[in-house]
Structure 1
Amino acid sequence: MNARIAAFFREFSESRIALVSLGITLFFVACTVLAPFISPINPYDLRSIRLSDARLPPGTQQVEPVPELSIPLAARDGKARAEGVTPAGDPIVLQLVPDSDGRLALEIDARNMVVTEIRLRGLPIDASVQGARKHPIRSEWTLANPASTLHIETGPQIPANLQFSVLIKGESEGTGMTFLLGTDGYGRDMLSAIIYGIRISMIVGAAGALGAMAIGTFLGLIAAWFGGRVDSFIMRLVDFQLSIPSLMVGLLVLTMLGKGVDRIILAIILIQWTYFARTTRSVALAELRKDYVDAARCLRFSALRINLLHILPNCLPPLLVILTISIAGAITLEASLSFLGVGLPLTQPSLGMLIANGYEYMFSNMHWIAIYPGLVLLVMIVAINVVGDRLRDMFNPQLKR
């Protein structure tokens, strides 16, 4: 057995393109198995996703937003003092003193805190803040990268009683997380979403193709063994199934049953079982005419034993080739259905769903949201198809003559 396996891989490796494609396919399989361990974050965990991180370009570092600190001031004759505590626990002191007629000076003592923005809210309508931008509607003035002292113009005279709030925002700190491939419109890390998208696409493709192989092989063996009306009924059912476009069948199934991984797998099985049934029937009909089947019948073996232990092993080589190609077809079908919005929900991003989410940003210079998942899907499908073509060539006896 080991010698046969070694000879098989030796023959397979004669094609370097097929060998590279096999390595790429195994890499995607590893991503499927190890996704929770190699993914930077879990895109399914809504607690790890922030809308403030949406649409960030590749290579951007994630920053931790600093909460805004609000300190009220109640001045009498232009004098007031208030204290607060920064998010880091350091004290911050505000001192308001008259500077001249109708002018106040607000001194800010923020230790160990880099103030990036200050907003003054609640000042009189006729007041103004030097160097600040006033809100068009509200009584609010905003000053970016302020100095330690702000100058407030209150008019000809300083009001005897003045109350307003000072909102202070500090410098954001990095979390140590870098979005290597950027983020999508929901703030999810594209690299993590792609890894989990590979996982979903591979699981859906493999499960759907294996399910279709099991059902199609079973019906193909039944059609070949019984023949007659049973064979005619199954083959007419196959012809009817093949006359309907695959995408139409998938849309019909998912429209009736709803979104979900299990529904997509069911749709793939209903679409692809016909290919396995036809292939199994044609190979089984050829095997039924051979002497070893007649010998098994003379030994009074049961029909189940003859089909499973004698005929089915001889049907496996072409079925394995079709299985490999069907996996790529199933991945393409799932991506198409998800792109159309009937596949998986937004909380379970597959490659097709990621491409659909990034399509609306294609003309907004945010190409990474759709391009990277599309390239991964393209490489995956091409690699699996090349492996399937190589297996087809190896199992074709006419090419070995």
Structure 2
Amino acid sequence: MSIRIIGAQLPDGTSADLFVENGRFVAESPTGAQSIDAAGLLALPGLVDLHTHLREPGFEQSETVLTGSRAAAIGGFTAVFAMANTLPVQDTASVVEQVRSLGERHGYVTVRPIGAVTAGLAGEQLSEIGAMAQSRAQVRVFSDDGHCVHDALLMRRALEYVTTFGGVVAQHAQDPRLTLGAQMNEGALSNELGLAGWPAVAEESIIARDVLLAQHVGARLHVCHVSTAGSVDVIRWAKARGVDVTAEVTPHHLLLTEELARSYDSRFKVNPPLRRDEDVLALREALADGTIDIVATDHAPHPVEAKECAWDEAANGMVGLESALSVVHASVVQGGLLDWSDIARVLSSKPAEIGRLAGYDAAFSAGSPANLTLYDPTASRTFARSDLRGKGVNSPYLGRELPGRVITTIHDGYLTVSDGELVDADTVSRSGGARG
């Protein structure tokens, strides 16, 4: 497929024509190229999500690689990293190779599996880290997300192991003893509502331990879904000491607060929980000053029956792929904390770098893979179920006014989203791109 993109606004504020041929950006317009009028549209490098739950294999009633990748594409993503809490768990070479193959057969986006740190996510012994790293899936990110690697010795061994091939351990920082039965952020509001609290220190203490372990063994550490001001302080301190630590924040932790728990609407139940106004402000500032490196969705689809029930019985999690760019736009761009060059960094080039995924930069250099999102920053919409393309409808933004809209997504040179709608899977398949 050859594509000519006319008059796109680049993240640095300039405008340019961009050309795609044979899956890569090229310097000159190809003969017979399909033209896209990008006047008024912002060209961003394809978005990369370092924290997605695709649920397959094992939980296909919640999501599949196909449905999750459709949700990703409509949100402007061209690559996602699939978390390990599947069934069977992604803790062996055979399972991660299966997930990568599912992405290649069915994905509208590049799918890279994340390997479990411990066997079965049980926190008792290390998984087949080396075998997963050496497999065809070439796993470089390892996480027990949903479960904290609580044993300090196991965490140390995992950090030591991944240094041998340039990998990273992505920690779900939650002391399980401090969060037994937790339902929401611990504080005055949890007491008022009669819900068991999830204290900030349960996150902050694990991060503090892990940055010291990472420094001790000279390893890379990534902190998942940072949610408190105290965690920001710990990470900022660690970076000042030269620890090789990166961190992510979710869109929902940049915009939403614990006050939403007053509704007892379980769409707002998530782990880690929504926090205080002060935490949201600290997270936004940390993203702006580089203490927090990236935005990651923690896209967590669930069947309707797992969310439309009493708060204390509901599953944790929110879907976020379709809304992520608009929520980041609302929370940090409209407030003037980040510009579009920053957004290209925190939603594309930096997560790709952490995950060791090549070819993502805002320069759209000739020869680099053609992964691109065209976004209309002047649009607005009331977010609705019709905006969702995955199986999960547990979005916290339904009925909320959000800015912007993804108009076009190009993955490895093929249109996956055109004029704001998914390209038919059969059409894309005949072109050799995503397959449905």
With the shorter chain as reference, the TM-score category is: under 0.3
Which of 1 and 2 has greater Rg?
1
